[in-house]
Amino acid sequence: MKNKNFNNEMITKELLSIIQNWIKFIKNERLLSLNTRKAYESDINQFMFFVFHYKEKVVSLDIIDNLSIRDFRSWLSALKNQQKIFSSTTQARHRASLRSFYTYSLKNNFLKNTNLFNLRSIKLKNKLPRPLSSNEVINVINMSEGKNSWVGIRDKALFTMIYATGMRINEILQLNIVDVEKSEVIRVTGKGEKVREIPLIKSAKIAIEEWLKIAPQNSHDDPLFIGVRGKRLSARQVQKTMENIRNNLSLPKSATPHALRHSFATHLLEEGVDLRTLQELLGHSNLSTTQGYTAITIDRMNKVHRKAHPRK
């Protein structure tokens, strides 16, 4: 339990043991990613810290089993007061963490309290960035090659791969040369340690081949994409490169490396790819996440319809 404001003496040993088992559960059975697990654990620490001061006593299983809906509202208010920016997304994450813990405890008969689930739900805005058009994507890829060194060839291969495969930045940056050499598909380990296979289309294979011809790496086990100091390229470096490109092309701030992934998904949907296939390609655990892209395509279709229809 790591939190600068929290220590294990604030809760009973019984409750601590349940929390530790819950952490193992979300790792081994729910297969949540490391970053998500850390966030969930931090959220639970903050919750226990709140209850400790709110009730002015060591937190026991009995105490959290008797919290009222008013107590949970006080917890959310305390979070809002502690944080300068408490967005609906952040609140939703805190709620999800606590719901996960309470759901686990209910199923294992540690708790009976369901008041948390009676909190009024919050509406989250669609955070998907505007997808780039096909021409905008081509312009981004062409401009990425503008540097007069191997860095330009590297960036062209990188941005081509994001758009051609729909992979997340961190997924691509974890690849080694051996993962793509003479391969028709890439095996990707995504969020929640979920493994999927993505086919390499011709444009991606050509871009990779051009890159590997001049790449400074010496071994097949070296990172596929490296920085000028020879270490694995970081996501922040990719984001800075994209910032420069979008400024030169006068693209909106929503034109990020991740927007290329959204463009991949949107363009495939517009070409008739079914949601289940797209779900597998993107590595989404839930189909509902993939369905978010349909709103974008429908919105664009409606705009085209209104603009083109003779009766307007």
Q: What is the domain class of 134-308 according to CATH?
A: mainly alpha
Reply yes or no on whether 261 is catalytic: yes
Reply yes or no on whether 213 is catalytic: no
In the set 27, 55, 191, 300, the catalytic residue is 191
What token pair was written down for 156? 């062209």
Rg of the chain over CA atoms, in angstroms? 24
Residues 114-129, mean pLDDT to the nearest whole number: 76
pLDDT at 309: 44
CATH number of 8-118: 1.10.150.130
Q: Indicate yes or no: pTM above 0.75.
A: no
What is the C-alpha separation between 77 and 206, in angstroms, rounded? Answer: 54
What token pair was written down for 11? 């809760």
Reply yes or no on whether 293 is catalytic: yes
Question: How many CB atoms are closer than 10 A to CB 224?
Answer: 25
In the set 94, 168, 196, 267, the catalytic residue is 168
User: Where along the chain do the CATH 1.10.150.130 domains lie?
Assistant: 8-118
Reply yes or no on whether 187 is catalytic: no
Least trusted range by pLDDT, from 54-63, 96-105, 187-196, 217-226 = 187-196
Reply yes or no on whether 258 is catalytic: yes
User: Where along the chain do the CATH 1.10.443.10 domains lie?
Assistant: 134-308
pLDDT above 50 for 305? no
Question: What band does 311 get if pLDDT is binned at 50, 70 and 90?
Answer: low
pLDDT digits (tens, 9 = 90+) for 135-146: 999 999 999 987
